[in-house]
Amino acid sequence: MAVLHSPIGAYRAVIRGRNWLLAKIEYLQAESTKWKTTFNIVKSPYSFLRMMGLSPQMATGLLVAGSTVGGGVVVNETVFSERSFSRGDAGVYSAPSDIPTSYSDSDNTLRINLGTTPVGEIIIEDITLGTAFTGSTLPSGQTSVILIGGTATSSGFTETWLEVGHLTVDRWRCTNFELSDIETHTLNIIGNASDGQSISPVPGTPRRRGIGGGNRADSMVTSGGYYDQLVIAAPTSAVNGKIDKLTLSNLYTKGGLCKVSRIKADTIDILLNETGAGNGFATKEFIIATSTIYKVANIADNVEVTIAPP
């Protein structure tokens, strides 16, 4: 009889083991759901503030000030994350690092310092600069809201250039715009409107140019944000900065000069920008200086119209 009943006993033992295992799995699943719900509740204030358009640092600051969250909470969104170029945080960045080398809560400048490593692509778009928003101001001693390019020879600095394969400047809104000290094979100045303009580039023999460099650095991309100033600077140690593709699109500025200078490029596109201070056509707010040298130029549909300051 023991032999006859042994399969039934074995089956019942397997059933007991199965039921024990399923009970543990169901318990763990229930606990996992509870923890997931808890984490979602904890992170919801931060997610809501980001959805409302606040920057990561501002959202975090409000949460800390209101004691909404505490330290040590880890969720799939990092509440106390580091500053980041891709998230649009102000600071000084050494290309191509996404983390700033330095920053100050009292300085809202977005600055990229180029080094010896070429960068594949930098894209900055849809940002507001200078005094175009409440509470903003230019850094002390600065008169330019945008500074893009190399460094002229001066005390303590050696002449450098910013080398670019393709530079695109489109849909900027500036009080004053200046393109100077430029060498580019192809220059496209198309569809710009200004309250007074001087477009005087000079033909020459700049060569075609592309930026390689083998193990080239990753791209840097950011979209949206408010800054007191934007700076993209070549090194100051006789080493040129190098970017294969630099796109600066839809920049709304006020309170200073938009300046692009000391650049050697293959192609420069200046497209669909609006510049003006509302003081008449006699004063030239949109300037393409005679120090801009090109081999091929396409200059068309640039008009003078009354444009008030931003």
Interval 181-229: pLDDT, tens: 999 999 999 999 999 999 999 999 999 999 887 766 668 999 999 999 9
Residue 82 has a pLDDT of 74
C-beta separation of 83 from 57 below 8 A: yes
Give residue 199's identity as a one-letter amino acid code.
I
Taking residues 113-139, report their average pLDDT.
89
pLDDT-derived band at 245, boundaries 50, 70, 90: very high
Taking residues 139-150, report their average pLDDT.
92
C-beta separation of 113 from 92 below 8 A: yes
Q: How far apart are CA 162 and CA 157, in angstroms?
A: 15
More confident residue, 158 or 126: 126
Residue 235 has a pLDDT of 83
Mean pLDDT of the chain: 83
Pick the closest to residue 275 from 289, 259, 262 (CA basis): 259
- For residue 259, pLDDT over 90 is answered with yes
Rg from Cα positions in the chain: 28
pLDDT-derived band at 28, boundaries 50, 70, 90: confident
> Backbone phi, then psi, for 57, in 5-degree steps?
-70, -35
Q: What angle do CA 59, 63, 67 make, to 5 degrees?
A: 170
**Residues 6+ away with beta carbon under 8 Å from 219:** 96, 119, 120, 121, 122, 123
Q: How far apart are CA 249 and CA 169, in angstroms?
A: 6
> Backbone phi, then psi, for 94, in 5-degree steps?
-95, 105
C-beta separation of 145 from 227 below 8 A: no
Please state the separation of Cα 99 from the chain's center in Å.
12
- For residue 171, pLDDT over 90 is answered with yes
- For residue 103, pLDDT over 90 is answered with no
* DSSP element (H, E) containing 272: none
Q: What is the 8-class DSSP label of residue 159?
A: -
Where do runs of H (alpha helix) occur along 84-238?
none
The pTM (predicted TM-score) of the whole model is 0.73
Taking residues 34-52, report their average pLDDT.
59
Q: How far apart are CA 96 and CA 86, in angstroms?
A: 11
Residue the block writes with tokens 């001087």: 198
Q: How far apart are CA 42 and CA 68, in angstroms?
A: 8
Residue 83 has a pLDDT of 82
Largest CA distance in the chain: 115
C-beta separation of 112 from 207 below 8 A: no
**Which among 33-47, 82-96, 98-112, 222-236 has the top mean pLDDT?**
222-236
**Residues 6+ away with beta carbon under 8 Å from 25:** none
CA distances from 231 to 30, 94, 148, 187 (A): 52, 12, 6, 22
More confident residue, 68 or 256: 256
**Residue 296 DSSP SS3:** strand
